[in-house]
Structure 1
Amino acid sequence: MLKKILSKSIAIALLSLSASAVFAGEVEVLHFWTSGGEAKSAAELKKMLEAKGHTWKDFAVAGGGGENAMTVLKSRVVSGNPPSAAQIKGPTIQEWGDEGVLTNLNSVAESEKWNDLLPSVVADAMKYKGNYVAAPVNVHRVNWMWLNPAVFKKAGAEIPKTWDELFAAADKIKAAGLTAIAHGGQPWQDATTFESIVLGTAGADFYRKAFVDLDPASLDSEAMVKAFDMLRKTKGYTDKDAPGREWNMATAMLINDKAAIQFMGDWAKGEFTAAKKEAGKDFLCMPAPGTAGMFTFNIDSFAMFELKDEKNKAAQVDLAKTIMEPGFQEVFNLNKGSIPARLNMDMAKFDTCAKDSSAEFVKSAADKTLVPSMAHGMAMFSAVQGAVYDTVTKFYNDDAMSSKDAAKALASAVKAAQTK
């Protein structure tokens, strides 16, 4: 009898192992999460997928705010060898959909009830012609201002809420021999600061006309001239080593008490968290001046590419399911600094910054002050975004270029990019 029971148990175990081997596949995931907090978040997804019996092939491409990763992705797709999933977002998903290389995720979306679990603004961004082709991992608020209160205290400066207060504080910080504004001189970082300035000085309606509707009169307007003026003024409070600096190195300046302020999305919080810093004590999070009650969003997502291997297709489906599971949405966003894309999540474990972000996301959607991030690929197609990047960065690096000329150049560059 004992032999029969053991034989049966072994047979069941072997059958189970055989079944998992049959359905186990590989997912190759292209992403650009390479900083401390980001890499830790990606590792959680890998761990959860491997727990389901699949193999994770990591394809991380650092730098450029994702620009480098997109260059690599294009070469892979053109060669007929796409990854299982790639970190893509916003209108870029539509561009890849037009190429006919994305796979349809409707079956998993329907079985997992994604339409009920996602805010409409998130769900719509994950679809191509009404069909799900991507899975969202989070929602980032971009218009954050991060502050080191110890640096403010050392310089005898007040925590600012307006641009005038910010520049008054920056003067004191600069006089104390510290860097007032930590910045990385890269096009996407220049654009990140600029979009918060436009939102804070001109409001959500103007922002939408300029960066979503691409209205020529708004792009070349006095309001845009004022925003360029403000951008140039912020540059005066950065340090000489800013050009080419990666964003997380700028965040490290705040972490190490070398700088006071950084304009960056809430992925910066992941760096503070990784460094064991406490929100409200070691660092502060506030909306960029003038942007309280408004929300520029950036949704990280994985678009899924059409595959041939059936095992890898099954692994791809499990990847999509895992991304939307509450356990992943919680642990990923706790590490990343963002908030869950999935609705009705328990926010008890999240800090005050994330709780504020979650509340503002819902409120700004109702108040129509929720706008897609221009700097982070949510507002416009990549060619137009590139034209904006080029103009903003040219102005930022050329002190001889006037704000009026920059606004005129911006309107012309956007128009040219639209006709290509």
Structure 2
Amino acid sequence: MKLKSLGAWLAASVAVPATMASATDLEVTHWWTSGGEAAAVAEFASAFDATGNKWVDGAIAGGGSTARPIMISRITGGDPMGATQFNHGRQAEELVEAGLMRDLTDLAESEGWADAVAAPSLLESCTLDGKIYCVPVNIHSWQWLWLSNKAFEDAGLDVPTTWDEFVAAAPALRDAGKIPLAMGGQAWQRGGAFNVLMTAIGGKELVMKVYDEKDAEVAAGPEIAKVFQAAADAREMSQGSNVQDWNQATNMVIQDEAGGQIMGDWAQGEFQVAGEVAGEDYTCLPGLGVNEIISTDGDAFYFPVMDDEEQSAAQEELASVMFNAGTQVAFNLKKGSLPIRKDVDLNAANDCMKKGLAILDQGNTVTSVNQLVSPDTNTQIEGLMTEFFSDMNMTAEDAQARFADIIANAD
């Protein structure tokens, strides 16, 4: 998808900065508005303010699907912010190609980013034609099942250890007045849940054949049929969830109204704000307890090209602050994500974060879907999953046929 199609897509601890400059206000746009997210972003703001500059918060409610078109419209319309969030992957590719994003290569090389990052794919996602255009700030993995221990106790059940055990527990949860699977109504949540099921049930090789190699024959085959059957189970289990935002679904688990939720590790921030203790109040199953693989999803910040020299200097200071080891620890402990650096001390990590760190240390990772397909393709998949989860009359076979067609034409 080239820049000419952008309009169509829009419709559908404190760091010591590398250089000191005059203090200035810098607007930072992002979509972190839940309780846990707000606590995490405050760590970035505090660290940046300590440089003498001022973080001007530009939070946009509604998640990335709402925020990204607004951010892109401002940048292409000549009203850029100082810094803006995107996910790891290709979401800002056209803006970089159009020369609208600042080149951070000199800063990255002077601070040794390539030697410090925990996964090379993090910087690869920021790189185009050998130049680095963003600073990755976390590793968020989608592949988690969050379970309310009390919900299962109320239903007279042991807490499941695998996806199949969770599915088998659904009738007893219903009988106990619980929604088995909490799921919000936003398209990205449903598309994300489907990809989690694919990773857990099919494994890394299947994910790469479908999304990296764009193998439509595999997408139409028996292994993906198993994934769609699991998605049909998830659809049945989520009936009655009746919430829109992801953190509302997480809160159903926190309040013991739902048995569980498929959601990325950012859900940990909500459990933390609520005073929940991992291993006591809730249980986390990486890879749904089936296949302990995590993806290298997450967030990065890009810095639009600005004419103002003071704001440009502040941009560089903010990028340095975000990559700093101390700031990385403070931010990610609140966010529930893993730091992008491999040289940080995370003794304060909770049980679930330690599970994620162990999986990362073992190298059991898969490239995120956002890094493998274009925003257009991802939007089509999310649209299909929204239809599938909303329409109980759509069969798994029909949905798979449409999915295979999307993959056949994916870019």
The answer to whether the superposition gives a TM-score over 0.5 is yes
**Is 1:401 the equivalent of 2:402?**
no
Q: In 1, Cα distance between the equivalents of 2:289 and 2:258?
A: 22
Give matches, 1:92-111, under 5 Å.
Answer: 92-111=91-110
Corresponding position of 1:166: 166
Q: How many Å apart are 1:417 and its aligned residue? A: 5.2
Shift of 1:111: 1.6
CA shift at 1:233, angstroms?
A: 1.3
> How is 1:204-243 mapped onto 2 (pairs within 5 angstroms)?
204-242=204-242
Partner in structure 2 of residue 51 of structure 1:
50
Q: Secondary structure at the match of 1:161?
A: coil
Residue in 2 aligned with 1:30?
Answer: 29
Q: Which residue of 1 aligns with 2:140?
A: 140
Partner Cα separation in structure 2 for residue 225 and residue 185 of structure 1: 23
Q: What's the CA shift string for 1:193-230, capped at 9, x where partnerless?
A: 11111112211101111122221112222222221121
Letter in 1 for 2:70: V
State the distance in 2 between where 1:131 and 1:105 align.
7
Distance 1:178 1:129, change over 3 A: same
Deviation at 1:95, TM superposition (A): 3.0
Partner in structure 2 of residue 198 of structure 1: 198
Local SS of the residue matching 1:279: coil
1:128 aligns with 2:128: yes
What amino acid maps onto 1:390 in structure 2?
G
Q: 1:171 to 1:250 in 2, by over 3 A?
A: same
Mapped partners of 1:351, 1:290: distance in 2: 18
Question: Within 2, Cα distance between the matches of 1:290 and 1:48?
Answer: 37
Identify the residue that residue 322 of structure 1 maps to in structure 2.
Answer: 321
Distance in 1, matches of 2:326 and 2:342, equals 13
Hey, what's the Cα distance between the residues in 2 that align with 1:416 and 1:212? Answer: 13
Structure 1 contact 105–133 (Cα < 8 Å) conserved: yes
Q: What per-residue deviation string (whole Å, max 9, x for no partner) do you get for residues 124-172 of structure 1?
A: 1222222111111111121011111111111111222333311221221
| Separation (CA, whole Å) in 1 of partners of 2:303 and 2:136 | 11
CA contact (8 A) 1:225 1:406 kept: no
Which of 366, 371, 394 pairs up with 1:371?
366
The whole-number CA distance in structure 1 between the counterparts of 2:58 and 2:142 is 25
User: Does the 8 Å CA contact 1:210/1:218 hold for their aligned counterparts?
Assistant: yes
Larger radius of gyration: 1
Tell me the secondary structure at the aligned position of residue 301 of structure 2. strand
Q: Which amino acid aligns with 2:218?
A: S
Q: CA deviation at 1:411?
A: 2.1
2: CA distance, partners of 1:232 / 1:75 = 37
Partner of 2:153: 153
Residues 25 and 313 in structure 1, CA contact (< 8 A), matched pair in contact too: no
Partner of 1:4: none
Partner of 2:186: 186
Amino acid at match of 1:70: R
User: In structure 1, how many angstroms separate the alpha carbons of the residues matched to 2:60 and 2:390?
Assistant: 26
8 Å CA contact retained: 2:203, 2:291? no
Which residue identity is paired with 1:322?
V
1:411 is matched with 404
Q: How many residues align?
A: 391
CA shift, 1:404, in A, is 1.6
Where 1:302 maps in the other structure, the secondary structure is strand
State the Cα deviation string for residues 340-372 of structure 1 (Å, max 9, x = none): 101121111111211111120131x3xxx4212
Alignment partners' CA distance in 2, 1:384 and 1:105:
28
Structure 1 stretch displaced more, 80-89 or 155-164? 155-164
Q: Residue 166 of structure 2 aligns to which amino acid in structure 1? A: L
Where do 1:269-418 residues align within 5 Å?
269-289=268-288, 291-363=290-362, 365=363, 369-374=364-369, 377-416=370-409, 418=411
Cα distance in 2 for partners of 1:117, 1:289 equals 30
Which whole-Å CA distance do the structure 2 matches of 1:213 and 1:84 have between them? 36
**TM-score scaled by length of structure 1:** 0.89
Q: Per-residue displacement from partner, 1:288-326 (whole Å, max 9, x unpaired)?
A: 435433112212110111111000001000000000111
Matches within 5 A, 1:249-288: 249-288=248-287
Residue 416 of structure 1, CA deviation: 4.1
Deviations 1:74-102 (A, max 9, x none): 21012111112111121123332222211
> Residues 10-21 of structure 1 correspond to what in structure 2 (within 5 A)?
none
Contact 1:187 1:390 in 2 (8 A): yes
Cα distance per residue 1:210-261 (max 9 Å; x no partner)? 122221112222222221121121122224242x510001111111121111
String of CA shifts for 1:12-61, please: whole Å, max 9, x gaps. Answer: xxxxxxx98x6112221110000001011111111111111112221111
Contact 2:144/2:262, CA 8 A, preserved across alignment: yes
- Which stretch of the first structure deviates more once superposed, 220-229 or 382-391? 220-229
CA contact (8 A) 2:179 2:241 kept: no
- For 1:162 and 1:282, the matched residues in 2 are separated by 18
Match for residue 41 of structure 1? Answer: 40
Structure 1 vs Structure 2: percent identity of aligned residues? Answer: 33
